[in-house]
Amino acid sequence: MSTPLPRRTVLAAACTAGCLTAAGCSSTQPRQDESAPAEITASEVPVGGGIVLADTQLVITQPEAGVFRAFSAVCTHQGCTVSEVTDGFIGCRCHGSRFSIVDGSVIRSPAPEPLPARTVTRTGGVLTVNRSEQITDRDRRVFVRSGE
């Protein structure tokens, strides 16, 4: 048998938690550096597919064995995080856009632009993605050619 808490006590506790959260005081952990390189084990990326890393806003693909690509996971339509890599495409469920796993180009609208490409390097079995460096269109062409 438990004694119910007085309504005023419950409201005060809720307000304290909410106020601390709103003021950014509830966490003593440092914020994640959004430009820090991301690392992933290469074997986690399926050949002919890829994976979405929502926490780092990246999509890593492997269009063919040993060839890895990385893109921003932020859809260029309205900013949803792309949701899946299936049937050789990167898909956004918000409005149905699809992107190429090879170069991030738009396969199906409404997305107006390709997914921004990121540099990815492989050291042994580890992939490192530079999240702050965006590959230009000129680099993208070279980037794609070098992997073919």
Contact positions toward ligand FES, by CB under 6 A? 75, 77-78, 80, 92, 94-97, 110-111
Query: CB of 83: closest distance to ligand FES in angstroms?
Result: 9
Q: Of the two residues 92 and 127, which places its CB atom closer to ligand FES in the complex?
A: 92
CB of 118 to ligand FES, least distance (A): 18
> Is 115 or 127 the residue whose CB approaches ligand FES more closely?
115
Handedness of CA 13, 14, 18, 19 (dihedral sign): negative
What is the Cα–Cα distance from 46 to 90, expressed in whole angstroms?
A: 13
Q: Which of 29, 37, 20, 14 is nearest to 131 (CA)?
A: 37
**On the CB side of 141, how many CA atoms lie within 13 Å of its CA?**
2
Residue 26 vs 78, nearer CB to ligand FES: 78
> 97 vs 100, which CB is nearer to ligand FES?
97
Minimum distance from CB of 88 to ligand FES (Å)? Answer: 18
Q: What's the rounded Cα separation, in Å, for the pair 85 and 91?
A: 6
CB of 81 to ligand FES, least distance (A): 9
Cα separation, 7 vs 125, whole angstroms: 56
